[in-house]
Amino acid sequence: MTDCNHDCESCSANCGERSAPAKAQLRSGSSVKKVIAVVSGKGGVGKSLVTAMLTCAVRKKGYNTAILDADVTGPSVPQMFGLHDGATADGEALYPALSKGGTQVMSLNLLLEEESQPVVWRGPVIAGAVTQFWTDVVWKDVDFMFVDMPPGTGDVPLTVFQSLPVDGIVVVTSPQELVDMIVGKAVKMAQLMKVPVLGIVENYSYFRCPDCGAIHKIYGESHVDKLAAQAGVDTVCKLPVSQQFARLCDAGRAEDIDVSLLQPLADKICLL
């Protein structure tokens, strides 16, 4: 149905949405207290970077963290954390890889024979794999799990919202005016699914010259504060264009990034 708001409680129509599964259950021996989804309306805005940085910021406050990489066709989290050995299995369950800093990570790239092997699957199959990352993986004593979502509002985001007990979302955007409309779609989807928006992160917000310290708005003036006000979101963080971020992620050293710019949002998440 084109006008479906995915809230079956307020609807009498007998459509396919009513066959949507209930919340998926963690397997025996797993424990995840809070789930935070990191979303974006479009690709290329640094969603995985923000996922990694928030995870590290929360872990530095003493919490056990995990990342479920739901961006099945474009997984980048393992590379950012320097994970190349793959996940493990014992015939009954999967076990996530462990980063140098102690974050548990599960990604399809950790299950492939070759990291460069493409995943050519249709949407429902991809969504099913994401659900299995929740049900078939042994997650040990996780305080905060961050779900790195694919961009948009398609099969996988809908599956995550419907199947996982998401406690809140973080929206990642960039300064271009065109993105405002796209971010609005992501925010409205979260509202339809009755999931609170914890904050908005604007990546590529500015560039600070390393020589003179001058700030340049390479992608134009920011509109994120206005967008956040319209959405009723009270926490906004802005990240610069940073060669250091890129170098550390490419080197598998995401845990060495300075995460102080995201500290207000990390503090809010830790209060959940």
In this predicted model, what pLDDT tens digit does every residue of 108-141 receive, in sequence order?
Answer: 889 887 766 776 677 788 888 899 999 999 999 9
- Angle, CA 259 vertex, CA 258 and CA 265 arms, to 5°: 165
Q: Mean pLDDT over residues 67-91, rounded?
A: 90
Q: How far is CA 58 from CA 17, 64, 251, in A?
A: 35, 8, 22
Q: What is the mean pLDDT of residues 62-83?
A: 93
| Dist. CA 74–CA 236, nearest whole Å | 26
Residue numbering of the annotated binding site for ATP: 41-48
| Residue 54: per-residue pLDDT | 98
pLDDT of res. 8: 53
Question: What does 166-200 look like in DSSP terms, one character per residue?
Answer: --EEEEEE-S-HHHHHHHHHHHHHHHHTT--EEEE
3-state DSSP call for residue 253?
coil
Q: Are 199 and 268 in contact (CB under 8 A)?
A: yes
φ and ψ at residue 226, rounded to 5 degrees: -65, -45
State mean pLDDT over 137-166: 91
pLDDT exceeds 70 at position 17: no
For 233, phi then psi, to 5°, come to: -100, 125
Question: What is the rounded distance in angstroms from the CA atom of residue 166 to the CA atom of residue 51?
Answer: 15
Beta bridge partners of 169: 37, 197
The confidence score (pLDDT) of residue 138 equals 96
Cβ–Cβ under 8 Å, residues 230 and 195: no
What's the token pair of residue 53? 């940085």
- Rounded Cα distance, 14 and 12, in Å: 6
User: Residue 108 in contact with residue 148, Cβ under 8 Å?
Assistant: no
Say how far apart CA 181 and CA 133 lie, in whole Å: 31
pLDDT tens-digit series, residues 46-61: 999 999 999 999 999 9
Question: Rg (Cα) of the chain, in Å, rounded?
Answer: 18
Contact yes or no for 95/89 (Cβ under 8 A): yes
168 DSSP β-pair partners: 36
pLDDT for 120 equals: 62
How far is the C-alpha of 148 from the C-alpha of 130, rounded, in Å? 11
